[in-house]
């Protein structure tokens, strides 16, 4: 079985208050997947979207603070795998504030075995 990538999507997610890294990661994944349709799957004669492999990579300032299962639960179809890396942004609008804006970036690769 040889998996071949068919789609690459990018997304950005932001948590404005609360420094919730999981929320920012979920929003980044939602941003990446919610403006496309996988019409090609049916066109290839594949009846089940469960055959899709969905590789999710999220860059967030504190990857250890992200709940992987919550992020993967965003996926509506396929077999999801997640990799968390250090990235994204933490922005404090005021120098004396501990309230930071968290920005996460996400890349999603959808692969399928069509042999």
CATH classification of the domain holding 107: 3.30.1330.20
Question: For residue 49, what are its two tokens?
Answer: 């979207």
Q: How does pLDDT run across 22-81, given as a tens digit for each residue?
A: 999 999 999 999 988 888 888 888 888 888 999 999 999 999 999 999 999 999 999 999
Q: How many CA atoms lie within 13 A of 15 on its CB side?
A: 19
Q: Residue 57 sits in which domain range? A: 4-36+47-112
Pairing of strands 101-112, 4-15: antiparallel
More confident residue, 114 or 38: 38
In a domain, 67, yes or no: yes
Q: What is the pLDDT of residue 46?
A: 86
In a domain, 42, yes or no: no
């Amino acid at each position: 079985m040889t998996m071949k990538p068919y789609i690459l999507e990018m997304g950005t997610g932001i948590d404005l208050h609360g420094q919730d890294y999981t929320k920012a990661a979920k929003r980044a994944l939602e941003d990446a997947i919610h403006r496309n349709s996988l019409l090609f799957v049916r066109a290839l004669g594949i009846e089940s979207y469960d055959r899709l492999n969905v590789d999710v990579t999220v860059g967030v300032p504190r990857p250890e603070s992200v709940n992987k299962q919550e992020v993967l639960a965003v996926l509506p179809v396929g077999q999801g795998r997640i990799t968390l890396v250090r990235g994204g942004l933490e922005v404090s609008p005021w120098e004396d504030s501990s309230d930071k804006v968290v920005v996460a970036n996400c890349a999603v690769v959808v692969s399928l075995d069509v042999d």
